Amino acid sequence: MKKEKVQENYQKIIAVAEKCGARMSAAVNGISMRKMAAGAAVLLVLSLIPLLVLGRYNVMCIDDYNYGIRVHDIWMETGSLWQSIQTALRQTKDFFVEWQGTYVSCFLMAVCPMNFRYEAAFIVPVIMIGMFAVSAFLFGRHILVKWLGSDKQTASFVMFLLLFMFYQVMEAPFEGIYWYNGATHYILMESLLFLMLTLVSGILWEGSRKAALFRCLPAVLLGLIVGGGNLVTALQAEVTLAFLLVYSYGKKRSRTLYVLLPFLAFSAGFLCNILAPGNAARSSLDTDVGYSSVLAVILSFYYAVVFMIGWTNAFVLFLWSALLPVFWKIGKKSERSFAHPVWVTAGAFCILSAMFTPTLYAVGMVGLSRVDNIIQMVYYLCLFFVTVYWFGWLSHRDVESSAGAAFGTFLEKTGNGLTSAGILFVLLMWVLTADKNTYTGISALRSLVNGDATVYYEEAMERHALYVDETVTDVVVKPFSARPALFDFEDLTPDEDNWLNLAVADYYHKNSVRRE
């Protein structure tokens, strides 16, 4: 009798658990994609707030001084914005002849906001995160909607989570968010490329010539600008625009001219960049020796694989896995044919690999952190897009008994459950990580809470007070007693002949600057 009672209670518990599970599953699966996208947007914003707040304690650093000294001098002497801009243009011309051909980057680096007001460094992360996040979102959503057939809500959901993931595991957050020169040269230029590609790709989907022209004109302007930026972004742009041009000629010939014009504008700027006399002058002084063009291309494919493996960490892998049901849903519901998964994968891999070629060719190395930031984002975009494409190919096949079809059936049955559980697990990894500097948002929050940011900024301002004190000609500063983990830049040294010490001394017109 007692055993029967226990069995009866057990069955009741099982029945209640199944009922609760069914209700929970129904509730989760009942969440609309609009609400999921809104939730992902809130998560992204919350994760970025600590990074932006930490920017309040950002200061000028590294070669911001070298590129900004002329403009700073004119501003301090005249207080004229127009004369400062003219000085920046003259400096860009001089650099083009004597040092480097990246004419747009050089101009932007010359007009560093801190040249005009030292305390303006807080605006740097606002610009860099704002431009990069918005442009990557627009570009990624465009690809998901137009090329892969997703609806806008689902595409927004995917892109919000991709951006959340990227900013938490960013290869070099200081160089991509807080350092003006480094972020301007790479992050900002890549942002403009994303905008240009969104416009050029959009031309192929416009119904009228007038609408295509409306996209073409700003794309031409952006092409001239991007062509004057860093060579990693530029080579990526050349390859991608060439793909779009060939596609337009083969599939949508009436739009070829509108794609050709931005391609030519960019190519003209790119050629002007690489043929600048300053590049030859700089290479004659540079002791680094790069690989031959052929070997650089071959090694690019190898290093692409190496870095892809390194960037696919547990955080990325779990978030990507959580989105698999969403990717399958996009592919299955899409009306696109998904006829060439191998070619699409190869094309994405070629674009990614091309981004490693310039540094291999120029200096014979990879792994420059400020460069890796943009390559890392392109990898994540390619990873998500290629996954959707393969799922679209699998879901459109007629073989119902294939392993792909069985996997698709499993993903469909999980509904929002697997996605929700996966995202929850990722959030637990994010918040509960043992090393609070593993993920950027948590690291920034830690530096704000424990006071490292405040102490660092106060000591940086003490240094600045010495720099602008006209009665002090030989400046000796104290080492920082605290510094946010994300602010991992090179500091002054006790050697007054160190290049950074000399740059600061020149900028403030001191006899010498050194650290104790």
Q: Yes or no: say if 219 and 200 are a contact pair by the CB < 8 Å rule.
A: yes
- With respect to residue 256, please indicate whether it lies within any of the assigned structural domains: yes
Structure tokens at 257: 């001219």
- With respect to residue 150, please indicate whether it lies within any of the assigned structural domains: no
Q: Are strands 474-477 and 512-515 parallel, antiparallel or unpaired?
A: parallel
Which residues does residue 512 pair with via DSSP β-bridges, in sequence order?
Answer: 474
User: Could you count the other beta carbons within 10 Å of the beta carbon of residue 118?
Assistant: 16
Q: What is the pLDDT of residue 355?
A: 94
Name, in order, each residue with C-beta under 8 angstroms of 448's C-beta and a sequence gap of 6 or more: 50, 53, 54
**What amino acid occupies position 61?**
C
Q: What is the pLDDT of residue 331?
A: 94
DSSP per-residue codes, 113-124: GGGT-GGGGGHH
Name, in order, each residue with C-beta under 8 angstroms of 153's C-beta and a sequence gap of 6 or more: 32, 33, 34, 36, 37
Q: What is the pLDDT of residue 413?
A: 83
Q: What is the pLDDT of residue 21?
A: 41
Answer with the one of 275, 292, 319 that is the final residue of a domain.
Answer: 275
Q: What is the pLDDT of residues 55-94, one digit of tens each?
A: 999 999 989 999 999 999 999 999 999 999 999 999 999 9
* Parent domain of 504: 450-516
- With respect to residue 302, please indicate whether it lies within any of the assigned structural domains: no
The rounded distance, in Å, linking the Cα atoms of 328 and 158 is 12
Q: Yes or no: say if 71 and 90 are a contact pair by the CB < 8 Å rule.
A: no
b vs e for 214-232, b when ≥16 Cβ sit within 10 Å of the residue's Cβ?
bbbeebbebbbbbbbbbbb
The rounded distance, in Å, linking the Cα atoms of 293 and 12 is 72
- With respect to residue 483, please indicate whether it lies within any of the assigned structural domains: yes
The rounded distance, in Å, linking the Cα atoms of 454 and 476 is 21
Which residues does residue 513 pair with via DSSP β-bridges, in sequence order?
Answer: 475
Residue 477, classed as helix, strand or coil, is: strand
The rounded distance, in Å, linking the Cα atoms of 74 and 60 is 18
Answer with the one of 255, 275, 295 that is the final residue of a domain.
Answer: 275
Q: What is the pLDDT of residue 399?
A: 59
Number of structural domains in the chain: 3
Residue 514, classed as helix, strand or coil, is: strand
Q: Yes or no: say if 219 and 203 are a contact pair by the CB < 8 Å rule.
A: yes
The rounded distance, in Å, linking the Cα atoms of 351 and 334 is 25
Residues for the chain: how many in total?
A: 516
Q: What is the pLDDT of residue 411?
A: 86
- With respect to residue 240, please indicate whether it lies within any of the assigned structural domains: yes
Q: Yes or no: say if 111 and 133 are a contact pair by the CB < 8 Å rule.
A: no
Structure tokens at 288: 């680094």
- Single out the residue of 171, 161, 177 nearest to residue 427, CA to CA: 161
Name the DSSP letter for residue 275.
T
- With respect to residue 95, please indicate whether it lies within any of the assigned structural domains: no
Which residues does residue 474 pair with via DSSP β-bridges, in sequence order?
Answer: 512
Name, in order, each residue with C-beta under 8 angstroms of 349's C-beta and a sequence gap of 6 or more: 301, 304, 382
Q: What is the pLDDT of residue 409?
A: 81
Q: What is the pLDDT of residue 8?
A: 62
Q: What is the pLDDT of residue 19?
A: 52
Name, in order, each residue with C-beta under 8 angstroms of 377's C-beta and a sequence gap of 6 or more: 132, 136, 166, 190
Name, in order, each residue with C-beta under 8 angstroms of 137's C-beta and a sequence gap of 6 or more: 156, 159, 160, 163
Q: How far is CA 29 from CA 34, 133, 417, 419, 496, in A?
A: 13, 29, 7, 10, 64
Helix H or strand E segment including 513? strand 512-515
- With respect to residue 38, please indicate whether it lies within any of the assigned structural domains: no
- With respect to residue 358, please indicate whether it lies within any of the assigned structural domains: no
State the sign of the Cα–Cα–Cα–Cα dihedral 106, 111, 112, 118.
positive
Name the DSSP letter for residue 366.
-
Q: Give the CB-side neighbour count of residue 389, counting CA atoms within 13 A.
A: 20
Q: Give the CB-side neighbour count of residue 69, counting CA atoms within 13 A.
A: 13
Q: What is the pLDDT of residue 470?
A: 92
Q: What share of the chain is helix, strand, coil (3-state, %, to 5)?
A: 75, 0, 20
Q: What is the pLDDT of residue 365?
A: 87
Q: What is the pLDDT of residue 187?
A: 97
Q: What is the pLDDT of residue 17?
A: 42
Q: What is the pLDDT of residue 181?
A: 95
The rounded distance, in Å, linking the Cα atoms of 360 and 454 is 40
Q: Give the CB-side neighbour count of residue 196, counting CA atoms within 13 A.
A: 30
The rounded distance, in Å, linking the Cα atoms of 118 and 72 is 10
Low-confidence ranges of the chain (pLDDT < 50): 10, 14, 16-18, 20-22, 24-25
The rounded distance, in Å, linking the Cα atoms of 316 and 314 is 5
Helix H or strand E segment including 464? helix 452-467
Answer with the one of 275, 309, 325 that is the final residue of a domain.
Answer: 275
**CA geometry: angle at 240 spanning 237 and 243, to 5°?**
145
